[in-house]
Amino acid sequence: MKHLLSTRDLSRVDAVRILDLAEDMADVATRAVPKLPTLRGKTVANLFFEDSTRTRLSFEAAAKRLSAEVITFSAKGSSVSKGESLKDTAQTIAAMGVDAVVLRHPASGAAATLAGSGWIDAAVVNAGDGTHEHPTQGLLDAYSIRKRLHGAGSRGRDLDGVRVTIVGDIVHSRVARSNVWLLSTLGAEVSLVAPATLLPGSIERWPVTAGHDLDAAIAARPDALMMLRVQAERMTSGFFPNEREYAREWGLSAERFARLGADTMVLHPGPMNRGLEISSAAADSARSVVLEQVTNGVSIRMAVLYLVLSGNDGTDA
Amino acid sequence: MTQHLLITAATLPDGTRADLRVQDGAIVETGSGLSADGGRVIDADGLQALPGLVDLHTHLREPGFEQSETVLTGTRAAAAGGFTVVHAMANTLPVQDTAGVVEQVASLGAQHGYATVRPVGAVTVGLGGERLSEIGAMAASRAAVRVFSDDGKCVSDALLMRRALEYVKTFDGVVAQHAQEPRLTEGAQMNEGALSSELGLAGWPAVAEESIIARDVLLAQHVGARLHICHVSTAGSVDIVRWAKARGIDVTAEVTPHHLLLTEQLAATYDPHYKVNPPLRREEDVLALRAALADGTIDIVATDHAPHPVEAKECAWPEAAVGMVGLESALAVVQEAMVETGLLDWSGVARVLSTTPARIGRVTGYDAPLAVGSPANITLVDAAARSDFDVARLHGMSVNSPFLGRSLPGRVMAVVHDGRPTVLDGALLEPAEVTTA
């Protein structure tokens, strides 16, 4: 695997292989010294043109557990605010000797552009590009669902027949996109719930079912319910009238949570707006996978960095 | 300075062959076996003759954006593409909203000699969409402006558009509307549809174009004015224009070469060379546009030649400038999309790329193409040629063409502008050989 740009173009075999490798990486964390020498001598650059402390720290932790060097670039207070382009920033960092670039960028397609441009030779890992994709988030969500369902017996399994419902701002969500493609590739049945303003146009072309009614979705007892974060800017641009109405119609309130199937797990990519899209009762319950998602995120990113930096492993066949 | 030219054995748009003798800027004799009379002979055996092409929609960028294009480089690109007239859009800096600016642009064109430059006047001051610019002064100026447009921006205020249509009528002018409802296209990156949803690029919905066209044809009918629609890009827009024409509304419409050949699918590459406004649309839109151009619903092809420096396209898609250069590739793309498909013959090409755009822009001398007495504006094309369109074919300052590497038919072999060659043997002449200064 030369780059990881999207989950759209991952095959089921490749996806399962990444999840299985993440299982191995998770085992490392249980050791006395939770570190592997695998990527010693390699340098990973975190290029973050958009704030994201969680994702950046997760990639940092992953790289360090594999003994790679990590250098970090954040747009805030950097040359980007002085008008430097993606090309120049990437080439500058690459000139310092970098083997992989982890890119977070507000522009959809930025990772694909960087990987295809010929500007740099380094591997590119998409850590979120605009409203397009966030593939490691999709992978860690799939991993978390599989782990909850199958525990120690997870290795080698896909998500055939698993029913996942994703709720919230689908149209602007790179997390939703990466999950839709990956989960359906793995065999899961994905359904989306949102007001019509927050569902993408032409949703009928996606491998999903879509609706507007969260109560109906809860009554259908999905295996996993994923609540998406409501971005502050959506609240002021007319996608829905106000927070109260959103919370009433599409929030996982304590009352809705109580109606949720006993086996339904609750996911959220974080950071959470408690009281808006998710109640504390749901977020802090035993059925919440939120903190496991964070832990699993490190394992997934270790697996991805390993794959793009350790040369040909056959997964891009 | 007089020039004598004899073009021999050219194939005229109607399919007949003839020699054309040119003297003192005009076609003075047609027939066979004509004498060169001591002038230069251009052997046009096997070449298709067309009247000089007229572009109603060109961005020459001067004054203000000379890092992208100048009047000289843009008219060199025009000549290389077979054009003898370009209409220079108003979004310069300063904006072409006064007599002084339009006269300067027109005179630069006249001095360089590669093509006649007809400046387009801004409809509103500074393209601000608030107050009418000095339309009368620009019409009465030496540039004799007849086309008015805020292109790049839509005249979205309905009352202002009504006033513009009425006022421009006073001067036998036309308002060329860039039909784009601004609120529906905030942040828009590509055609809105299944693909934009998948790519996470903000959509530019067809309704944003169609709603403005619908409003404006009704306004034009209401005030009895002439309206021109720039770069029509959707099947729905075609339906509205067809409906308006059937009602007798005085509307004309243009389509760009790229909207006749390329589809939104190219956005999946995230290569900003395919980013343009209005955006590339669906296959069914492309087919509807071709059919409309063939049946006359869409009157003309106009390039929307929009040069940008390299760095404006070497970035992530949402950060890239919109627009493509098009003068050098226009004729080849029209041949590919319309002639090779049997939708248009060469007299049709002459109509959509020369006679009709000249009529809309009130450019004189193009109403009797290639006839004795007409000004000698002639383009000779090797229609049998085919090659990969490469950067050597580009003669403007910018190289942001979406057609690089694509196999296209036809090759412009010679161009005569007001009796003087600008292209000979397939090569653009040097400025010193062309200038009238």
Alpha helix segments (H runs only) across chain A: 12-29, 53-65, 86-95, 110-117, 135-150, 174-185, 214-219, 243-250, 254-259, 280-283, 290-309
Segment B327-377, tens digit of pLDDT: 999 999 999 999 999 999 999 999 999 999 999 999 999 999 999 999 999
pLDDT at A312 over 70: no
Among B196, B203, B316, whose Cβ lies nearest the Cβ of A86? B316
Report the share of chain A in percent with pLDDT over 70: 95
Is A72 a residue of the active site?
no
Inter-chain contact A177–B198, Cβ cutoff 8 Å? yes
Q: Using an 8 Å Cβ cutoff, are A227 and A271 in contact?
A: no
Rounded-to-integer distance, Cα A305 and Cα A68, Å: 10
Is A2 a residue of the active site?
no
Segment B144-166, tens digit of pLDDT: 999 999 999 999 999 999 999 99
Q: Using an 8 Å Cβ cutoff, are B123 and B111 in contact?
A: no
Q: Which CB contacts under 8 angstroms, 24+ apart, belong to B421-429?
A: B421/B3, B421/B5, B421/B40, B421/B42, B422/B79, B422/B84, B422/B113, B422/B114, B422/B115, B423/B79, B423/B80, B423/B82, B424/B42, B426/B382, B428/B76, B428/B79, B428/B80, B428/B395
DSSP code string of A176-192: HHHHHHHHHHTT-EEEE
Inter-chain contact A107–B314, Cβ cutoff 8 Å? no
pLDDT at A316 over 60: no
Catalytic residue (one of B55, B299, B304, B418): B304
Q: State the pLDDT confidence band at A79, using cuts at 50, 70 and 90.
A: low
Q: State the pLDDT confidence band at B69, using cuts at 50, 70 and 90.
A: very high
Predicted pLDDT at A74 = 86
Q: Average of pLDDT values for B90-102?
A: 98
Is A268 a residue of the active site?
no
Q: Using an 8 Å Cβ cutoff, are A148 and A164 in contact?
A: no
Q: Is A206 on the interface with B (CB under 8 A)?
A: yes
A32-36, A162-166, B262-266, B292-296: least confidently modelled range: A32-36
- A135-293: which CATH architecture? 3-Layer(aba) Sandwich (3.40)
Inter-chain contact A203–B197, Cβ cutoff 8 Å? yes
Inter-chain contact B201–A85, Cβ cutoff 8 Å? no
Q: Average of pLDDT values for B26-46?
A: 94
Inter-chain contact B194–A113, Cβ cutoff 8 Å? no
DSSP code string of B172-218: T-EEEE----TGGGTT--EE-SHHHHHHTPPEE-HHHHHHHHHHHHH
Predicted pLDDT at A29 = 85
Predicted pLDDT at A222 = 98
Inter-chain contact B201–A116, Cβ cutoff 8 Å? no
Inter-chain contact A113–B201, Cβ cutoff 8 Å? no
Report the CATH fold assignment for A12-133+294-309.
Rossmann fold (3.40.50)
Closest Cα in chain A, distance from residue B17 (Å): 49
Q: Average of pLDDT values for A174-188?
A: 98
Q: Please report the residues numbered 298 through 317 in chain B whose beta carbons come closer than 8 angstroms to any beta carbon of chain A.
A: 311, 314-317
pLDDT at A80 over 90: no
List phi, psi (to 5°) of B234. -125, 155
Closest Cα in chain B, distance from residue A131 (Å): 5
- CATH class (in words) of the domain with range B4-48+373-429: mainly beta
Inter-chain contact B201–A132, Cβ cutoff 8 Å? yes
Q: Is A171 on the interface with B (CB under 8 A)?
A: yes
Inter-chain contact A109–B201, Cβ cutoff 8 Å? yes
Q: Is A207 on the interface with B (CB under 8 A)?
A: no
Q: Average of pLDDT values for A183-200?
A: 97
Predicted pLDDT at A82 = 58
> How do the domains of chain A map onto residue ranges?
12-133+294-309, 135-293
Q: Is B197 on the interface with A (CB under 8 A)?
A: yes
Closest Cα in chain A, distance from residue B125 (Å): 30
Predicted pLDDT at A314 = 43
Predicted pLDDT at A293 = 97
Q: Where in chain B is the domain with CATH 3.20.20.140?
A: 52-361
Q: Please report the residues numbered 59 through 78 in chain A whose beta carbons come closer than 8 angstroms to any beta carbon of chain B.
A: none
- B52-361: which CATH architecture? Alpha-Beta Barrel (3.20)
Neighbours of A65 (CB within 10 A): 22
Segment B189-201, tens digit of pLDDT: 999 999 999 999 9
Q: Where in chain B is the domain with CATH 2.30.40.10?
A: 4-48+373-429
Predicted pLDDT at A235 = 76
pLDDT at A167 over 60: yes
Q: Is-same-fold flag (A12-133+294-309; A135-293)?
A: yes
The neighbouring-strand residues paired with B83 are B53
In chain B, the residue whose alpha carbon lies closest to the alpha carbon of A134 is B200
DSSP code string of B227-245: EEE-S---HHHHHHHHHHH
Closest Cα in chain B, distance from residue A222 (Å): 24
Q: Using an 8 Å Cβ cutoff, are A203 and A173 in contact?
A: no
Is A104 a residue of the active site?
yes
Strand B26-31 to B251-255 pairing: unpaired
Predicted pLDDT at A78 = 61
Rounded-to-integer distance, Cα A124 and Cα A115, Å: 6
Q: How far is CA A151 from CA A145, A239, B104, B388, in A?
A: 10, 39, 76, 57
A45-59, B94-108, B220-234: least confidently modelled range: A45-59
Q: Is B266 on the interface with A (CB under 8 A)?
A: no
Q: Please report the residues numbered 77 through 136 in chain A whose beta carbons come closer than 8 angstroms to any beta carbon of chain B.
A: 85-87, 105-110, 112-113, 116-117, 129-133
Q: State the pLDDT confidence band at A317, using cuts at 50, 70 and 90.
A: very low
Chain A residues with CB-CB distance to B194 below 8 A: 201-202, 205
Cα-Cα-Cα-Cα dihedral sign, residues B216, A200, A85, B400: negative
In chain A, the residue whose alpha carbon lies closest to the alpha carbon of B200 is A132
Omega before B94 within 30 of 0, i.e. cis: yes
Neighbours of A30 (CB within 10 A): 7
